[in-house]
Structure 1
Amino acid sequence: MKPPRGTDIALDAPHGSFGCYLSRPEGEASAGIVLLQEIFGTNLHIRELADQWADAGFVVIVPDLFWRSAPGLQLGYDGADLDRARTMLAAFDLEAAIDDTLACADYLRAHGTRRVFTVGYCLGGKLSVAAATRPGLDGAVGYYGVGIEKLGIAGNVKCPMMLHFGADDPATPAEALAALGRQLPAGAALFRYQGAGHGFNNWRRPSHDAPTAQLAFARSLAFLGGIG
């Protein structure tokens, strides 16, 4: 993989100033993406993901969702880092993170981006759904967000949505996805991939499933490209 090529910026929002990673395409951007992190902070993989979406023609901004308590946090996936990530998740303020997400969407629009989407992974997958219940987004994609069905808000989504889950992910069993599917508004797409587990899109982890990741990315790309 290439080293991350984006830049770190400070975004001044009404509720505070926080760090973001910004990645731009080589040519003109077709649209903007607010990319939402896993529980491990804005680490190397999240930055690589931002660059992947930028290579597909989007201007991508990644908010540091842990800035209120641990700004700039970047964690690995094992040992003490995993314990720290779980601690951060337990204290996570979803409503505050929605404010951060929409502030990033406002930033992209203020800098000339007409269409703005969210794409989130793990924690960010849940946040992608939560943010889409408020006005201000043109579309939303979520990967393996855990516990979305327990929020009771999925039916309030205000934009087109696509969700991806691994069928072998114990954190999102079939009954949870069935409950989520019943909540989602008509037209929302939910895919469940046989043989894939949690984190199937993360090529920095053993859970990576390349064929599933490629299929989900292609579907997401086509989905966002079809939103006028």
Structure 2
Amino acid sequence: MSERVKLTAVDGHELEAYVAHPAGAPRGAVVLVQEIFGINSHIRGVADGYAKDGYLVVAPALFDRFERGLELQYTGEDSKKAYELYGKLNPEVQMKDVAAAFEFARKTVGNAIGVIGYCYGGLMSWVTATRGETLKVQPACCVCYYPGGIGKYASEEPSCPVMIHIGADDSHIGPEQVEPVKKAHPEVEVFIYKGADHAFNRAADPAKYREAAAKLARERTLEFLRTNVG
């Protein structure tokens, strides 16, 4: 079962979130942070998948600060608009929206909450791990799928276990971003997937999707959630 709910961030901004419910009592919760294409059918599908695994999933609509109800595709004018909006994003601001989703999850399941993000959401998952405590957000763990720009934040200290998934052929995240993270945080699990580019988990995008890498990354993520969330 899924629903749309309204959240209110600490600065008073009201945003929507897509919430996917498990069939039975939740094992815990996941805050799912979107790519730069909004809460589109792909992100909703990912949320539904983790709900089937037993988690309450809350996906906040980060683009509601600019335009409500955005669901963008990966080519043409939609892609152009996504990258224009990407230029307006600020992790310090979007953390407030992630925190609102986290608070919704906490009121529902308690403190057993993980954060999983993809693309820009992957970066936000890392930032949540390192800066979340400023907004009273203390995740049980964070998972970052191809977190573009993470190199800028590599020196920041995570407050929880973190797992990172990156394609070996990622055209957005090169060794200059990955290596500083590995060097500063040897405890962080960083998995590199051969033959995979950026967005390899995006099943709705045949140009990017790599089934073997996506399956293995998901298996690792689920094990990580089972260990740290429940």
Task: Give me the TM-score of the superposition, normalised by structure 2.
Answer: 0.93
The answer to whether residue 112 in structure 2 is matched with residue 110 in structure 1 is no
State how 1:40-79 maps to structure 2 within 5 Å: 40-79=37-76
- Which amino acid in the other structure matches residue 68 of structure 1? R
- Which amino acid in the other structure matches residue 178 of structure 2? L
Greater relative contact order, per chain length (Cα 8 Å cut-off, separation 6+):
2
Q: CA RMSD in A?
A: 1.3
The answer to whether residue 172 in structure 2 is matched with residue 175 in structure 1 is no
5+ long unaligned stretches in structure 2: none
- Which amino acid in the other structure matches residue 148 of structure 2? V
Following the alignment from structure 2 to structure 1, what is the Cα–Cα distance between the partners of residues 4 and 221? 26
Query: 1:149–1:183: 8 Å Cα contact kept in structure 2?
Result: no
Following the alignment from structure 1 to structure 2, what is the Cα–Cα distance between the partners of residues 183 and 100? 28
Question: Post-superposition shift, 1:152?
Answer: 4.3
Q: Which residue of 1 aligns with 2:165?
A: 164
- Which amino acid in the other structure matches residue 195 of structure 1? G
The answer to whether residue 93 in structure 2 is matched with residue 84 in structure 1 is no
Q: Give the SS at the match of 2:63.
A: coil
Q: Identity over the aligned pairs, expressed in percent?
A: 33
- Which amino acid in the other structure matches residue 107 of structure 2? A
Q: Which has the higher helix share?
A: 2
- Which amino acid in the other structure matches residue 175 of structure 2? A
Query: 2:143–2:163: 8 Å Cα contact kept in structure 1?
Result: yes
Q: Which residue of 2 aligns with 1:140?
A: 142
Q: Give the SS at the match of 2:35.
A: coil
Query: 1:40–1:76: 8 Å Cα contact kept in structure 2?
Result: yes
Q: Which residue of 2 aligns with 1:193?
A: 193
User: Deviations along 1:150-201, whole A, 9 cap, x unmatched?
Assistant: 2344x311000000000011211233211221233x4210001111111110
The answer to whether residue 38 in structure 2 is matched with residue 37 in structure 1 is no
Q: Which residue of 1 aligns with 2:217?
A: 216
Task: Give me the TM-score of the superposition, normalised by structure 1.
Answer: 0.93
Q: Give the SS at the match of 1:111.
A: helix
Following the alignment from structure 1 to structure 2, what is the Cα–Cα distance between the partners of residues 164 and 54? 21
Following the alignment from structure 1 to structure 2, what is the Cα–Cα distance between the partners of residues 79 and 128? 28
Q: Which residue of 2 aligns with 1:225?
A: 226
Query: 2:29–2:56: 8 Å Cα contact kept in structure 1?
Result: yes
Distance change (3 Å), C-alpha of 1:219 and 1:152: closer
Following the alignment from structure 1 to structure 2, what is the Cα–Cα distance between the partners of residues 125 and 20? 17
